[in-house]
Amino acid sequence: MSKMLSLIKPNPKDFVVSCDLKLANILCGLQFHSSSHPCTWSFDAAGRDIKKAKEFGKVVHPPLLALDDEQLVLDLIPAMELHLLLGVVNHLFKILKSMWPHAEKWLDALHIKQQPFHGGQFAGNDCHKLLKNLDLLQNLAEKMSSIYICPIVNTFRKFEAVIPVLSAFFEIRGPEPSKINLTPTLKSKTMAKDKEILKPVKFSVYLPDIICGMKELDKSLFNIKINVPAIKCNEKSCGKFQKTFKNVLLNRPHFRSIIPSNLLNSNERFILLNPEVNNFELLNDDQQKVFINENGEFCQHELLLEYKDFSAEEIFSKIFSNFDIENVSSFETVGHIAHLNLREKLLDYKKVIGQVILDKNPNIETVVNKVDSIEETFRYFQMELLAGLDKMNTTVIEHGCTFQFDYSKVYWNSRLQTEHKRLVDQVKEGDIVFDVFAGVGPFSIPIAKKKCFVYCNDLNKNSYLALKHNITLNKLNSSLIKAYNMDGRDFLRDVVIKEILKSSCHLPKMFSIHIIMNLPAIAPQFLDVFKENNFTNEMLPESINNIFVHCYLFSKSETPENEAKQLVSEAVGYDISPKAKVRVVRRVAPNKVMLCVTFDLKWFHLQSVKPSTKRLNEGESLDDHEAKIMKID
């Protein structure tokens, strides 16, 4: 006792000591149970071994005051911080309660109760909470004009500073008091930092377990009642609470955070809080002041939840809580269509997945699932309708262009929109572009809008018809873009190569030629066309320049960039490194990536025969290419 008092250095005027035999024993490092059994905590820590318990001080903490008289009836065991905390805080509160009838308000604000299983005392965590909220006690005392309890408050504060000191004192086996730093080191554990807004509440934790594994959607099972923390206040105080508590309010779409009382003619309001902020201790300083000054009162408020109140992610997290599955709610959006690619283990749940996605996404009218791999020739896949309307004709707007098509008959991938823009941005006004596998025009149409000369092709008849429709729909100049319905190899031979040879003599060096080959499954197989005998020795290498091929492909290699360069080099017949650029477009599977290889086509490496003698259209001059651009509005 003398050691602890020397650390506190109390002022006789504001220090009150009230203790009984048990408290005296706690402070002296002695626990009064019997002559053979120490206190419960110490005895359990010693493995319930009486012999070890008597030597317990050697392995944990020595007592503050060691008594070596073996004739004592009491056991010599160490006093732990918990003993000191329980003893002093509980006795100080008893003194406070005997002096001040409003002491219980301090407990109510912190949701603290004296525990019966602790002999009617506070538990250890509650003692810590009381010591960390002495400002609240001080404010309550000032508000109720009870300044006379300040000595007790000050005593609490002194003991608050001693607790961490005692821990250090026990740890290093009793340093000199002069070497102990008595500066309080307590820091606020406030969760609600001034500018940190808590994340939206996940209501999925409240859903009943019967929803787990649901295969047929039963919306009635989502009708539940939950309790959330709230602050009851006067209507006139709502503005102050809303402003100060902004970062800890219940953050949910379609939920009001301030609601009126159900009582008629009542001016009470309930401020709904994030469930993580359930007591006074978790509020920051400004919030605590508003809470006290505006007579706030913590309570629980009941909310009625229905199916409409849960997000798709929350519903799926509950249905598949026993599954090792991520991103069930993710899908590709193609106009009004949601396209899913469900794994085999989710196929039994496809109907409930489709219905939830339809319900939770207002812009979605149709939900489909891919049932086989993409067909290599025409690049579309078989699909099944999971929910909504059987309506496959859709409209997509991408980068200022409009595309209309039957999604069940053509290829479209919304996840490639960034790649579409990246390549379109590389092309300059006046360039010549050949889109070998054009689809419905995601590359060709925005490129033609830049006043480039575009030759686009697709073997799929439905894609070709949609491509022509989209050219008209986007009001493109017919002199800028021309569509073909040919095999890719034939298009390369009969259109690309011939048009390049025709343009080579009069295309100014400021312009480039781009060949886009976006059929990653087999595109490299078409590159051998450039090794065929279509060229002439009479054509100088420098007369054909700035020809860039953009070839897309897949790779499962551990070094996909190296494999991509090797595949393309073998196909064209020469090493495209080191100027070739290889870029990963996206990851399509855990061990499979899509890449784009861009390289400068070196015509002088290729075999040669005489081309057509007609290189220019009749009456066309070397300056006609630039003249054409100038004429286009």
Are 480 and 453 a contacting pair, CB within 8 Å?
yes
The response to whether 75 counts as a known ligand-binding position is: no
Residue 586 pLDDT grade (very low, low, confident, very high; cuts 50, 70, 90): very high
The response to whether 458 counts as a known ligand-binding position is: yes
Q: What is the pLDDT of residue 165?
A: 47
Residue 380 pLDDT grade (very low, low, confident, very high; cuts 50, 70, 90): low
Q: What is the pLDDT of residue 323?
A: 77
What are 28's two structure tokens?
A: 């002296």
Give the C-alpha separation, 482 to 471, whole Å.
9
Higher pLDDT, 15 or 289: 289
Query: DSSP letters of 176-222?
Result: -GGGS--S-------SS-TT-PPPPP-GGGGS-GGGTT-SS--GGGG
Q: What is the pLDDT of residue 189?
A: 41
The response to whether 487 counts as a known ligand-binding position is: yes
Give the range among 105-119, 185-199, 290-304, 419-433 with minimum mean pLDDT: 185-199
348, pLDDT greater than 50: yes
The response to whether 96 counts as a known ligand-binding position is: no
Give the range among 272-276, 317-321, 561-565, 612-616 with minimum mean pLDDT: 612-616
Q: What is the pLDDT of residue 501?
A: 81
Higher pLDDT, 490 or 283: 490
Give the range among 55-64, 191-200, 252-261 with minimum mean pLDDT: 55-64
Q: What is the pLDDT of residue 270?
A: 93
Residue 549 pLDDT grade (very low, low, confident, very high; cuts 50, 70, 90): very high
Q: What is the pLDDT of residue 532?
A: 73
37, pLDDT greater than 60: no
Q: What is the pLDDT of residue 52?
A: 52
The mean of the pLDDT values for the chain is 77
| Average pLDDT of span 365-371 | 92
- Tracing tokens 């996605």 back to the chain, one arrives at 357
The response to whether 420 counts as a known ligand-binding position is: yes
Q: What is the pLDDT of residue 222?
A: 94
108, pLDDT greater than 80: yes
Query: DSSP letters of 435-483?
Result: ETT-TTSTTHHHHHTTT-EEEEE-S-HHHHHHHHHHHHHTT--TTTEEE
Residue 613 pLDDT grade (very low, low, confident, very high; cuts 50, 70, 90): very low
Q: What is the pTM of this model?
A: 0.64
Higher pLDDT, 17 or 289: 289
Amino acid letter for position 319? I
Question: Nearest Cα to 274, choosing from 297, 249, 298?
Answer: 249
The response to whether 25 counts as a known ligand-binding position is: no
Listing from the earlier edge strand, what are the strands of the sheet with 258-260?
258-260, 268-272, 224-234, 297-305
